[in-house]
Amino acid sequence: MTEASVYPAIFAGLMGLAMLIYAILDGYDLGVGILLPFSKTASNDQQRDRMIASIGPFWDANETWLVLAVGILLVAFPKAHGVILGELYLPAAFLLVGLILRGVSFDFRAKAAVSHKRLWDHCFRIGSLIATLAQGYMFGRYIHGFDTSLGAYGFAVLSAICITAGYHFIGACWLILKTDGDLQARATKWARRSLWIMAAGILAVCIVNPLVSERIYDKWLTLPNLLLLAPIPIITFGLVLVVNQFLKGFPYSSDRFCWVPFASAVVIFILSFHGLAYSFFPYIIPDQLTIWEAASATASLKFMLVGVIITVPAIIGYTIYSYRVFWGKSSNLSYDAQ
């Protein structure tokens, strides 16, 4: 490989990493937003406070991974950025409106007059939902290379529902990890409900992708690839079954294994992501534009890589530190628990 071909590959990997981390981290906090309960009981009010408190110190940094992912797309693959966001102009606008609504509600709810708090809570939930649906829809449109057939649009809608289920699931798993008592029990129910929709979504992508793209079909379903890649779907669906069993028996007498569903969700996200990344590489727009065709000048990529090598480990380091600072059940953080 020549120098000019290595740098785009590095940045494609980095963008993938940023997207994966984004999907996991903002995935759980968007999921928590969607799950906010709203019936008019005092315990629901308290549960909303606790749920939002559980993501309080993190959501801002979580969202930054999206800025990094879109940023790398913009700066390392400017041609693809223009095409992708040009095609996804309207859903991207909805995504942004959703993220704006959600981000500001988070702060307004705590500072506004009491009578307005519920309104901001609603905005928080609606914003989370809009952002999630928009992401799923954009993802579905992207997978089919912005094909304009009815089937492709139908797939995008399906994808919107399944990504929402996925975030719903990882959000519920986060709550199982970070809360206890009644809220934790409710989160278990939420997790079980969304688990199967998410699994169906992953399955749908697995089936549709090789069907619509001969290239992807060849990449997965010929020997020896088939055997080498088999662990990805097997582990993914195995984990789904394991988590389902685990959730059935919840709650356990000791809360020692409360991390299991969240960890499994993370592994499922990672495996699904790798499956997709493998399918699409080296295309940045499926079957149309490769990462090399879309890349910026090598001199610019080199200059950025210096920054990446220095800062990304530091970012990961202080992100871990921040999670350690706020380790444990989020109820300990609020005055409610005292």
Smallest separation (angstroms) from other proteins to the CB of 198: 26
* Cβ closest to other proteins, residue 107 vs residue 218: 107
* Cβ closest to other proteins, residue 107 vs residue 182: 107
Smallest separation (angstroms) from other proteins to the CB of 68: 5
* Cβ closest to other proteins, residue 277 vs residue 315: 315
Smallest separation (angstroms) from other proteins to the CB of 334: 5
Smallest separation (angstroms) from other proteins to the CB of 311: 4
* Cβ closest to other proteins, residue 234 vs residue 297: 297
Cα within 13 Å of Cα(175), Cβ side: 33
CB 264 within 8 A of CB 242: yes
* Cβ closest to other proteins, residue 197 vs residue 315: 315
* Cβ closest to other proteins, residue 228 vs residue 325: 325
Smallest separation (angstroms) from other proteins to the CB of 268: 26
* Cβ closest to other proteins, residue 244 vs residue 298: 298
Smallest separation (angstroms) from other proteins to the CB of 146: 7
Which H, E and C letters describe the chain, residue by residue?
CCHHHHHHHHHHHHHHHHHHHHHHHHHHHHHHHHHCCCCCCHHHHHHHHHHHHHHCCCHHHHHHHHHHHHHHHHHHCHHHHHHHHHHCHHHHHHHHHHHHHHHHHHHHHHHCCHHHHHHHHHHHHHHHHHHHHHHHHHHHHHHCCCCCCHHHHHHHHHHHHHHHHHHHHHHHHHHHHHCCHHHHHHHHHHHHHHHHHHHHHHHHHHHHHHHHCHHHHHHHHCCCHHHHHCHHHHHHHHHHHHHHHHHHCCCCCCHHHCCHHHHHHHHHHHHHHHHHHHHHCCEEECCCEEHHHHCCCHHHHHHHHHHHHHHHHHHHHHHHHHHHHCCCCHHHHCHHHC
Smallest separation (angstroms) from other proteins to the CB of 3: 16
| Calpha distance 13→32 (Å, rounded) | 28
* Cβ closest to other proteins, residue 117 vs residue 192: 117
Smallest separation (angstroms) from other proteins to the CB of 125: 16
